[in-house]
Amino acid sequence: MGMPVIVEIRDDSVNENIISRVFDLFNYVDEKFSTYKPESEINKINNGEILIENASKDMKEIFKLSEKTKKETDGYFDIVNEDGKYNPSGIVKGWAILNASKLILEAGFSNFYVKAGGDIQVNGFADTNKGWKVGIRSPFNVKEIIKMVYLRNSEGIATSGSYERGSHVYNPKNKLDSLSEIVSITVIGPNIYEADRFATAAYAMQNKGIYFIEKLKGFEAYMIDKNGTATMTTGFENYLK
CATH number, position 37: 3.10.520.10
Q: What is the pLDDT of residue 196?
A: 96
Query: How many Å apart are CA 183 and CA 60, to the nearest integer?
Result: 32
Classified as helix, coil or strand, 163 is coil
Q: What is the pLDDT of residue 177?
A: 59
Q: What's the whole-model pTM score? A: 0.93
Domain that holds residue 40: 5-239
- Backbone conformation region of residue 10, classed left if phi is above 0, alpha if psi is from -120 to 50, else beta: alpha
Residue ranges for the chain with pLDDT beneath 50: 166-167
Q: Yes or no: say if 157 and 188 are a contact pair by the CB < 8 Å rule.
A: yes
Tens-place pLDDT, residues 69-120: 999 999 999 999 888 999 999 999 999 999 999 999 999 999 999 999 889 9
Q: Which phi and psi angles does 103 have, rounded to 5°?
A: -60, -45
Question: How big is the chain, counted in residues?
Answer: 241
Q: Which phi and psi angles does 154 have, rounded to 5°?
A: -130, 40
Q: Yes or no: say if 74 and 198 are a contact pair by the CB < 8 Å rule.
A: no
The percent of residues in the chain predicted with pLDDT above 70, rounded, is 92
Tens-place pLDDT, residues 216-234: 999 999 999 999 999 999 9
Q: What is the pLDDT of residue 166?
A: 46
Q: What is the pLDDT of residue 172?
A: 67
Number of domains the chain is built from: 1
Query: How many Å apart are CA 185 and CA 206, to the nearest integer?
Result: 9
Query: How many Å apart are CA 1 and CA 153, to the nearest integer?
Result: 27
- CA angle, corner 9, sides to 24 and 156, nearest 5? 85
Query: How many Å apart are CA 88 and CA 39, to the nearest integer?
Result: 16
Q: What is the pLDDT of residue 174?
A: 65
